[in-house]
Amino acid sequence: MDDLTGKCAFVTGGASGIGFGMAEALAGAGMKVVIADIEANALEQAAAKLKSSGAAVHAIQLDVTDRAAMESAAADAEEAFGAVDVVCNNAGVCWRGFMTDASYDDWDWVLGVNLGGVVNGIRTFVPRLIARGEGGHVVNTASMAGLMASPGNSVYCTSKFAVVGLSEGLRKELAPKGIGVTVLCPAAVNTNINRAERNRPAELGDTSAAMDAEALHLLDRSFLGGTDPRDLGAMVEDAIRRDLPYVIPHQEYKGAFRGKVDGILDIWNDDEPPETRLAGAQLRQQAFARMRDR
C-alpha cells in the first residue's frame, strides 16, 4: 500500500499513546482516520487535536471486548468515510505481578483486551477487506513481551505472544489476497500503559495491589525515556507502505533475543527425520493449501 492518500484507517486505542501516534502518522500521510477508544474524554481531545491539524477524523467510543460494539463501529466508520483500508488493532492493557498472584479476573481482563480485542477486530474487518478485493493492511500491536518473557510480566506476555503467533499466521493466510499484516513489537514507549487499571471494568474486580508503590514508581520512571509514540507511528506507516511483517524498534533487546534463538537452536538436534514424518509434513501442507485456495 504505497499510496495511502485518501484511504481510511481504523485505529483502536487511538485516543492516546501508540494508537494516537499511529493516527497522527496516518493522518499526516493523507489518510482519513477513525480513532476508537474506551475513554470518552481522551477521545474527544484526541479528535480535536487531529482536526486542528487539518486531518479528516471520526471518533468512536468503543470497548474492543464487545463484539457487537465492534461490528457497530465498523458500520459507523464506513458511514463516515467509506470502506476501511487499514485496520490497527492496538488497544491494550497490562497487569503486573506474578502468575501465582493473578486472579481469574486478571487473566480475563488482560486476555480479553489484548488478545480478544485483536480477534474481534480481525473477525469484523478482515472479511470486509477480502470481499472488496482491493487489498489492505492489518497492524496488530504486540510487544517485545510477545517475543521474550520476563518474570512479573507473564500474564501480559501470554497475551502478546498470542498476538505475535496470530499475526504471523494471518499474514500467510492473507498474502494471496493482497492484504498485508504487520505485528508491532515495541519495548518501552512513553505512554500511560502502566495506568491501564483506570479502564478496568468494575465487574472484573481490582487486584492492583499486586505491585507496591515503589515498584510502580520505578516502572513509571522507566517508561519516561521510552520511544515517542509519534516516532513509532511513523515506523508503522513505513511498515504499511513496504508491507513489513514486523516492526521491532528497540535495539537494546536484540542481543538477548539472539541469545534466546541460539539457545533454542542448540537444543534442537540435527538428526535426520524419518521419511514418514517428512511425508506427513507434505500432506499437511497440501491440506492447508486446499483451504487457502477455496
Nearest to 119 by CA among 166, 154, 168, 61: 166
Half-sphere exposure for 6 (CA within 13 Å, toward CB): 1
The partner residues of 183 in beta bridges, in order of sequence, read: 140, 246
Q: What is the pLDDT of residues 83-123, one digit of tens each?
A: 999 999 999 999 988 999 899 999 999 999 999 999 999 99
Judged against a pLDDT cut of 90, whether residue 206 lies above it is answered with no
Sequence-distant (≥ 6) Cβ neighbours of residue 84 within 8 angstroms:
8, 9, 10, 34, 74, 77, 78, 125, 128, 129, 136
Q: Is 253 a catalytic residue?
A: no
Q: What is the pLDDT of residues 124-165, one digit of tens each?
A: 999 999 999 999 999 999 999 999 999 989 999 999 999 999
Residue 142, pLDDT score = 98
Residue 293, pLDDT score = 65
CATH number of 8-253: 3.40.50.720
> Where are the domains positioned within the chain?
8-253
Residue 214, pLDDT score = 81
H or E element in which residue 279 lies: helix 275-292
The C-alpha atoms of residue 70 and residue 38 are separated, in whole angstroms, by: 12
Residue 104, pLDDT score = 94
Q: Per the residue annotation, which of 104, 156, 246, 253 is the catalytic one?
A: 156
